[in-house]
Amino acid sequence: MKIKFWGVRGSIPAPGPNTVRYGGNTPCIQVINDDKPDDCIILEAGTGIRELGLAIMATKKQPKIHILLSHTHWDHIHGLPFFVPFFVPGFDITIYGPVHYEKKLSEIMMGQMDYAYFPVSEAQLSANITYTDLKIGQNLSIGGYDIQTHHMNHPITTFGYRFTEGGKTFVYTGDNEPRSNFQVEGEDSGEEELDDFVEELNNLLVEFARDADLLIADSQYTDEEFSTKVGWGHSSVSHAVTLANKANAKKLVLFHHEPMRNDDQLDELLESGIQKNKELNNESMEIFLAKEKDEYEI
């Protein structure tokens, strides 16, 4: 199993000389199974998917394309109208994502191709495009992988994905904030019960990531930043390192970089993650920072 990064930045693209080392594109990750070249699995459709589309075109082949979305916030879908295989006859593309109470996945995705936002209409997409609305708890089997979903903590229904194949496991959290009971802090009644419930939910996530050979985790904030951003739906580096430790992950890749952060600041962020890991006395887990075009083999 190989995992390749095409976009690593959260919230909004951040191009320019200050982000050139790690990259400025929003989330897009390719999950490659060399034994199944007829399937192309893509996690997220941030702006990184544009270049991946060009790379697919350059192969002159037409694999079946599966795009798995953690959720439909802009930074996870706004590369899609620029994904060239959409416009090419013969491509078979399925988009998977969590179902929402208000709108179907297809409505959300095509909403961004309305003439108010984009000059090319949906009718001009020549590929065969289908949508699969995923329900909480629904699992998948694609391209030789068993894929489990997990309901994450974010302001819209968001899924993490766990891929298993040939005894290897890769887990992706998508956007996620550790659950807390901050909503009722200070209230007298039921707090202890709620604490237990919150702990149980966080433990379910640890089990979801259990023994991952590679864990890609939201780590948008420093600990300091997180204290002013509780409820925004993201984790700090400490949260990511703690999750990976509890789950006994072998490798952790910090992901969904804050757009304000330049390359040197990202280096510092990685260092803080390594320090946190030392505090937890874990010398066996390796920590990396997601970087465009980097590839991991597990």
How many Å apart are CA 216 and CA 83, to the nearest integer?
23
Site for Zn ion in 135-194 (CB under 5 A): 175
Residue 106 · residue 131 · CB < 8 Å: yes
- Tell me how many degrees the CA angle 223-18-55 measures, rounded to the nearest 5: 100
By DSSP bridging, strand 128-134 and strand 92-98 are parallel
Nearer to Zn ion, 12 or 57 (CB): 12
Q: Which residue is nearest to Zn ion (CB)?
A: 73
* Nearest distance from C-beta of residue 84 to Zn ion, angstroms: 23
Smallest distance from Zn ion to CB 262, Å: 19
**φ, ψ for residue 288, nearest 5 deg:** -130, 170
Tell me if 51 contacts Zn ion by CB under 5 A: no
Residues 6-25 that bind Zn ion (CB under 5 A): 10
The residue among 264, 273, 203, 272 whose CA lies nearest residue 241 is 273
Nearer to Zn ion, 143 or 174 (CB): 174
The most distant pair of C-alpha atoms in the chain lies apart, rounded to whole Å, by 64
Query: Which residues are 126's β-sheet partners?
Result: none
Choice between 50 and 73, CB closer to Zn ion: 73
Q: Give the residue with the Cβ less far from Zn ion, 4 or 73.
A: 73
Listed ranges 3-11, 94-102, 142-150, 183-191: which one lies at the site for Zn ion (CB under 5 A): 3-11
Q: Which is nearer to Zn ion, 73 or 78 (CB)?
A: 73
Smallest distance, Å, CB 68 to Zn ion?
A: 14
Nearer to Zn ion, 33 or 236 (CB): 236
- Write phi, then psi, for 121 (nearest 5 degrees): -85, 165
| Pattern 59-98, Zn ion, x by CB under 5 A | --------------x-x-----------------------
Q: Which of 14, 74, 3 is nearest to 257 (CA)?
A: 14
Q: How far is the CB of 247 from Zn ion (least distance, A)?
A: 21
Q: Residue 259 in contact with residue 9, Cβ under 8 Å?
A: yes
Q: How many residues bind Zn ion (CB under 5 A)?
A: 4
Q: Is 51 or 175 the residue whose CB approaches Zn ion more closely?
A: 175
DSSP single-letter state for residue 12 = S
**Smaller CB distance to Zn ion: residue 47 or 238?**
47
Evaluated on CA atoms 55, 58, 62, 63, the torsion sign reads negative
The string over 52-61, giving b where at least 16 C-beta atoms fall within 10 Å of a residue's C-beta and e elsewhere, is: bbeebeeeee
> What is the number of other CB atoms lying within 10 angstroms of the CB of residue 279?
11
In the complex, the residues that contact Zn ion under the rule CB under 5 A are 10, 73, 75, 175
